[in-house]
């Protein structure tokens, strides 16, 4: 399993104080805030990359704190020097499940059988590619990637797992030839083999409308990253920004969503951040 920093380190975190032109306002939070809906998303989790600093100091204590907040699931970004079986034992011990993990694209090309075996040991449902290197970010490169994704999706299905791709902002922006990367990837991959893990922050930041995309790609979004954004483009704890998660998550659930993972790329105090996000989601009826 690859360290997610290796993929994300070259990406700009956020274009702070810069609004994305053309972003729809249909998914921004209404004022006053909506009352709780009474909904409860099965499998609300946290992407452990948010807690990487705390994990480096105390893995066991951090996992226990995540469970104490109220999360049921986690999404992994590495194994933290453990075997899949050993990490699962730690998760089981505090009542958490590793529902998903992020894997570099090269792993699905070189040794995917071993990756799938580890995912099975962990008890996962999803395997997700979190990003693509710059060399793949052309129309021809994305077509090759789509073929790789179809093969990986077929292998994952044979192993009893689902396979997906996680977006950032560049996939929503047209390339020089007019191609929108996420549209190309979804059009060229089989819907029953390749899911879309929609990162809600990065989708908005790239100029996309999550509600419209969920409607057009119904059934493809089986997991999401729940990350909030201010009107000026900063990443903040869920509830501190303008995205209407009550509307977006309700629409996603109606169209096949199974898992939602809270995340913040630069949270400061990670446990405090994921705790605040959980409490906000509970206040709008998303979390129990």
Whether 22 is in a domain gets the answer no
Whether 6 is in a domain gets the answer no
Whether 29 is in a domain gets the answer no
Instruction: State the Cα–Cα distance between residues 204 and 80, nearest whole angstrom.
Output: 31
Whether 263 is in a domain gets the answer yes
Q: Which domain holds residue 86?
A: 36-283
Whether 21 is in a domain gets the answer no
Q: What is the pTM of this model?
A: 0.88
CATH for 251: 3.20.20.150
User: Would you say 251 and 3 are in contact if contact means Cβ atoms under 8 Å apart?
Assistant: no
Whether 7 is in a domain gets the answer no
Whether 2 is in a domain gets the answer no
Per-residue pLDDT of the chain (288 residues; tens, 9 = 90+): 444 434 333 333 333 333 333 344 345 555 334 333 334 455 699 999 999 999 999 999 999 999 999 999 999 999 999 999 999 999 999 999 999 999 999 999 998 999 999 999 999 999 999 999 999 999 999 999 999 999 999 999 999 999 999 999 999 999 999 999 999 999 999 999 999 999 999 999 999 999 999 999 999 999 999 999 999 999 999 999 999 999 999 999 999 999 999 999 999 999 999 999 999 999 999 876
Count Cβ neighbours within 10 Å for each residue of 11-50 and write b for 16 or more, e otherwise.
Answer: eeebeeeeebeebeeebbbeeeeeeeeeeebebbbbbbbb
DSSP H stretches of helix in the chain: 5-8, 52-57, 59-69, 84-94, 105-110, 112-122, 139-158, 181-188, 200-205, 210-216, 245-254, 270-283
Domain total in the chain: 1
Whether 116 is in a domain gets the answer yes
User: Would you say 191 and 220 are in contact if contact means Cβ atoms under 8 Å apart?
Assistant: yes
């Amino acid at each position: 399993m690859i360290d997610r920093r290796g993929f994300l380190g070259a990406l700009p975190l956020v274009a702070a104080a810069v609004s994305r032109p053309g972003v729809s306002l249909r998914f921004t939070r209404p004022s006053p805030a909506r009352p709780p809906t009474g909904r409860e998303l099965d499998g609300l989790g946290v992407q452990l990359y948010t807690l990487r600093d705390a994990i480096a100091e105390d893995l066991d204590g951090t996992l226990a704190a995540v469970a104490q907040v109220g999360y049921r699931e986690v999404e992994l970004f590495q194994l933290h020097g453990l075997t899949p079986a050993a990490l699962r034992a730690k998760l089981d011990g505090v009542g958490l499940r590793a529902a998903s993990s992020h894997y570099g694209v090269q792993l699905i090309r070189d040794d995917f059988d071993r990756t799938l075996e580890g995912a099975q040991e962990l008890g996962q449902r999803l395997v997700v590619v979190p990003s693509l290197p710059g060399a793949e970010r052309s129309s021809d490169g994305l077509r090759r990637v789509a073929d790789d994704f179809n093969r990986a999706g077929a292998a994952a299905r044979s192993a009893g797992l689902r396979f997906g791709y996680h977006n950032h902002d560049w996939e929503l922006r047209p390339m020089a030839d007019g191609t929108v990367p996420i549209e190309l990837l979804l059009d060229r991959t089989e819907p029953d083999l390749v899911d879309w893990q929609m990162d809600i922050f990065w989708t908005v930041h790239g100029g996309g409308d999550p509600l419209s995309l969920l409607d057009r790609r119904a059934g493809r979004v089986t997991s999401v990253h729940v990350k909030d954004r201010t009107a000026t483009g900063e990443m903040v704890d869920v509830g501190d920004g303008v995205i209407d998660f009550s509307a977006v998550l309700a629409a996603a659930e109606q169209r096949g969503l199974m898992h939602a993972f809270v995340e913040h790329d630069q949270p400061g105090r990670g446990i405090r951040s994921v705790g605040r996000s959980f409490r906000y989601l509970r206040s709008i009826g998303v979390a129990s």
